[in-house]
Structure 1
Amino acid sequence: MTQAAILGIIITLTATLVVLGSLAIFAGLSRPRRMPDMGFGPADQDVVFIFRDHDLIDCSDPARALLKSLAAPDKATDAHSDYVVLLQYLARRFPDVQSRLAGLAQSGPWEMPSHTGDGLVLGARFHKGLMQLRLTDTLDEGALLAIDRLSHDAQQKELKTLRAVVRNLPTLVWQSDAHGNIIWANTAYIQALQGFEQADHALAWPLPDLFAQTETLPENRLAFEKQGQTHWFSHNQLEEGAYVTHFATPIDAAVQSEAARRETLQILTRTFACLPIGLALFDAERRLQVFNPALVDLTGLEPLFLAARPSFEQVLYALREIRMLPEPKNFNSWRNDILDMEKAAANGDYAEEWCLDDGRTYLVNGRPQPNGAIALFIQDVTTEASLARSFRAEIETAHKVLDHLQQGIVVFGLGGQALLANAQYVQLWKTDPCTDLADKGLPQALRHWSDNSAPTAFWAQLAEFLSTQTDRAPVTGTITLQSGTSVNVTGNWLSGGNIMLSFQYAEKAAGRDRREQDLQIDLLNRPEPILRFPEGEPRHLSSERPHIPDAPRKPRSARHVGTRVRA
């Protein structure tokens, strides 16, 4: 009896425990997944933000870590900008989040899953002017894992970006330890190592030093030679404890440009040294920067004085001391003249001839240069000036001779333009084609001659003669002016296609012919000379000559060679 009771109790207890266990298992399986608490209580492991009017007033530690990873490292943030940064992060995962947050006070609490499939759920609640935002990872239980994954994702994204930047950076970057061993290098450095025999066989850590064999170079410069070509780099380094990070930026183009500039400067220097023109280059502060040997030869200034970089005014004073400047009439205004000369040279308007006391003539030009500099060019033009003065004197003499001729002379060029007209021509026709700016040349002259003379066919004959540029005999004719005076006209072709026309009064020409005839008659009617002999009476030469009958001959006028009628 007792054993049966005990056995019944045991069976009853066992059945009860089985039922209770089954109920517990069923209750555990049917319990819904725990949703995040939307209360405003503390949640140290949740990503929770609390805002008032878009200003962050509180957040959990994981939320603060997330904001720190999202914010730009070089920009300071405030409470209001935290909302903007977070909103940019949420907008990429939750559509229409900005508009839904704006109407949160009217719509009440809500939850929104991420459309990117990352398992994030955004919960929002508005209470007493405060807005709470909570991020939850529904892919795993426990808020701590969700928070760590968010920070981890942001860090991984940043790390991926940094790796891409360093991988594509054209600058060579490497890091060395305290012993000089290279413990890290970017892709550009490793690619630069390729092609070296010692590197191809030993491309392992620590990497070979590209610049180990570099000779002594200027500061912040590195170079290595590869496949017969030298590569240049600008070098900078950053020390961080026991490690040194090196940066080498390629500057091949800059080095080539510097070499080309030096070569060009040398060529210009040699060219300036061979120039016969003196060169003086003054900078913006009017200090002499460049001069060539010709300046020393022309001016006589000491090279040491010029090498001391004197000022513009000092150079002119030194030139005046050695009498290489034209002596001014008024010394008090000489300094003002110097200033005017400097301004004119800066504007590119200065050009002057310096006539020195020793008879030399210098042509001085001032030209502006970049950055406010000016250049003076001094050239010895003594020979050219002497020739110009000689030619000018000859031309003036020739003009005076032409002006004293009794004939009117006018010369036209090949194109019909008037080249020369003497005073007699101007007096005869009352016009000077050389000074008349409105003159149209030979056609206008023909009309003027025809209008101021009696009608004659000679003008047509002259026009035909002028229209044919052939070696023809001179054309001559006589015209009558409106005043009744007769004028002889002669046209000649000159060398080079020029045309010369001469006009002479017919009365003067006739007077000259009469004087020649009178001279001939006087020579013919002069008595024969009488010779006196010692032993006899004087006899005429005709008595000694046999009588020869005169042969008929053509009468000719006798003219003295080289004589001409003078006014």
Structure 2
Amino acid sequence: MNIWLASFAGIGIGLVGLFLIATTNRIQKASFVGPSVNRRSVILLRDGLVIHSNEHAQRSLGDLVLPGQSWCRLKDRLATFIDGLPDELPDQPVVLGDTGAKGQQLFLRTDGETRILELGDIHSSGDIAAADTPEDASTEAVEMAVTPMWKTNSDSQIIWSNAAYNALIRDCGAAGEQATQLFNLPVIDTKTARQSRASLETAAGKKHWFEITSQPTETGTLYYASNIDALVTAELAQRNFVQTLTKTFAHLPIGLSVFDKDHRLVLFNPALLDLTRLPVEFLSARPNLLSFFDHMRENRMMPEPKNYTSWRDQLTNVVNAAQDDRYCETWNLPSGLTYKITGRPHPDGAIAFLLEDISAEISLTRRFRSELEMTQSVIDSFDDAVAVFSQLGVLTFCNTAYRTLWDCEPDSAFAEMTIVDATQAWSKACVPTPVWPEIREFVLTLRDRAAWDTGLDLRQGGSLFCSVEPVAAGSTLVRFSKMTAASAVPAATMDTTE
């Protein structure tokens, strides 16, 4: 949008330059000082009102502000130079009035709805049917421009305005005999152009926004206004969207920071303040990425890199990774906290960083892992071989004695070991017995179950005492104990009480 405004402003300046060239050329051709100098003054009228005049015409008619004047008022002032002017302007090219002893002529030309009056010496060229000159073309281009343009003198009075500006006056209900200053703009005390924004409300109650460029000249100030309603609406929508995002993420426990395409902070939520301990004044000043991470390092809210200088050089890689949705790190802080930082790409080159405190999750995971390791250590100290199967029949746990007894390593297997796989391995090492289908059915059943046990004979000699017990979450514990002579139980006897 800014590129469009700049292009539009360039076109406006070019049109105004053409108009100034045309006006300068006409000044060199017209004069009211005397009959010996061959120069003219030009006045343009439309709908009976003056819409434009060159500077010679304005100076010749004294303090009368021409833009907006009616033909009636203009005729009275022109009577100083020429007699016998008609009450109504003709529709065809003609020489107006009687030259008489005053030695002046008023030529009328038409261009559509525009009446062009040229006042000059009777010895000057008066070909009223002459073809349009380049100056006429440039004047017409400025007059027909859709951009409102106007010029003020040193007293801030409008001395010229184009049709677009006059149309704007009518839309605002301020039309009168003189051009009205619609915008309350400050007087420029420098020789450089300046841009400002101003709003205008029409008679229908509709509000419009304009980007107004003020260009000082030797005789006053030239203005042109570009309508920026679409830009203002887009900015308002963006501001409302940002406010909505801010409200949405206000109670989010995850710290959010969004950096624009220039890597400056444009959005953050309160959780970021709590997690980073950065002052709100610093974040509100829209710091860049380097300053943001520098302050986090100073607050000891990020791990201290071994070589911070090289890490800053690698920040470009961090940004690129975030733009590709590949950046995710876990920070273990000196305070004992653990942060997870994730980079996410956003439209138009923006980047969002999410900062999450996962200290409780990490602590719970570590405690759970510690408990598992302790439980494994305790079970491994048993002489009995122990295995636990889930409700779906998958081996979830076994101790060292089980691995040694059945010569297996479930953790290194490609696929999960099931109760079917386990009973097949057991049956190969034991004397045939009808107990294996019973064990499989017990593990996979969903109904209430009761513990039972049986004896097993090994093919290489010796006996085992097998105990099958239901445990929590529908799982089943199978335990194998070596039998002594005193505790031997015949393999044929099996307690299947439910």
Q: TM-score range by the shorter chain?
A: 0.5 to 0.7
Q: CA deviation at 1:361?
A: 1.7
> Matched residue of 2:410: which SS?
coil
1:503 aligns with 479
Q: Is the 8 A contact 2:246 2:267 kept in 1?
A: no
Alignment of 1:68-147 (within 5 A): none
Alignment of 1:93-242 (within 5 A): 171=146, 173=148, 179-180=157-158, 184-186=162-164, 190=167, 193=170, 198=173, 211=182, 219-225=196-202, 227-236=204-213
> Matched residue of 1:482: which SS?
coil
Q: Is the 8 A contact 2:250 2:269 kept in 1?
A: yes
> Matched residue of 2:369: which SS?
helix
1:363 aligns with 339
What is the distance in 1 between the residues matched to 2:439 and 2:485? 21
Would the alpha carbon gap of residues 512 and 301 (structure 1) be closer, same or farther in structure 2, given more than 3 Å must change? farther
> Matched residue of 1:431: which SS?
coil
1:13 aligns with none
1:442 aligns with 419
Q: Is the 8 A contact 2:143 2:163 kept in 1?
A: no
What is the letter of the counterpart of residue 347 of structure 1? A
Q: CA deviation at 1:406?
A: 3.3
TM-score between the two structures when normalised by the length of structure 1:
0.47
2:317 aligns with 343
> Matched residue of 1:219: which SS?
strand
What is the distance in 2 between the residues matched to 1:177 and 1:324? 60
1:353 aligns with 331
Instruction: Pick the structure with greater CA Rg.
Output: 1
| Equivalences, count | 348
Q: CA deviation at 1:219?
A: 0.3
What is the distance in 1 between the residues matched to 2:364 and 2:415? 33
Determine which structure has the larger helix proportion and give its number. Answer: 1
Q: CA deviation at 1:487?
A: 3.0
Would the alpha carbon gap of residues 397 and 276 (structure 1) be closer, same or farther in structure 2, given more than 3 Å must change? same
Q: CA deviation at 1:488?
A: 3.5
User: Which digits, 9 at most, give the CA deviation of each residue in 1:349-373, with x for residues without a partner?
Assistant: 35123241x4x22314252656877
What is the letter of the counterpart of residue 361 of structure 2? E
User: Which digits, 9 at most, give the CA deviation of each residue in 1:276-298, with x for residues without a partner?
Assistant: 55566678888878776655554
Which of the residues 417, 432, 453 maps onto 1:455?
Answer: 432
Would the alpha carbon gap of residues 491 and 326 (structure 1) be closer, same or farther in structure 2, given more than 3 Å must change? same
Would the alpha carbon gap of residues 259 and 470 (structure 1) be closer, same or farther in structure 2, given more than 3 Å must change? same
Q: Is the 8 A contact 2:384 2:482 kept in 1?
A: no
What is the distance in 2 between the residues matched to 1:444 and 1:456? 16
| CA RMSD after TM alignment | 5.2
What is the distance in 2 between the residues matched to 1:288 and 1:246? 36
> Matched residue of 2:196: which SS?
coil
What is the distance in 1 between the residues matched to 2:443 and 2:393? 10
Q: Is the 8 A contact 2:197 2:209 kept in 1?
A: no
Unaligned regions of 5+ residues in structure 1, if any?
1-147, 514-567
1:408 aligns with 385
User: Which digits, 9 at most, give the CA deviation of each residue in 1:226-270, with x for residues without a partner?
Assistant: 545422233457899989886544332221110122233344456
TM-score between the two structures when normalised by the length of structure 2:
0.52
Q: Is the 8 A contact 1:420 1:434 kept in 2?
A: no
What is the distance in 1 between the residues matched to 2:351 and 2:437? 62
Which of the residues 407, 415, 418 maps onto 1:430?
Answer: 407
What is the distance in 1 between the residues matched to 2:485 and 2:212? 99
Q: Is the 8 A contact 2:258 2:267 kept in 1?
A: yes
Would the alpha carbon gap of residues 304 and 470 (structure 1) be closer, same or farther in structure 2, given more than 3 Å must change? same
Q: Is the 8 A contact 2:256 2:353 kept in 1?
A: yes
> Matched residue of 1:223: which SS?
strand
> Matched residue of 2:339: which SS?
strand
> Matched residue of 1:419: which SS?
strand
What is the distance in 2 between the residues matched to 1:292 and 1:166? 52
Q: CA deviation at 1:419?
A: 2.0
What is the distance in 2 between the residues matched to 1:218 and 1:434? 74
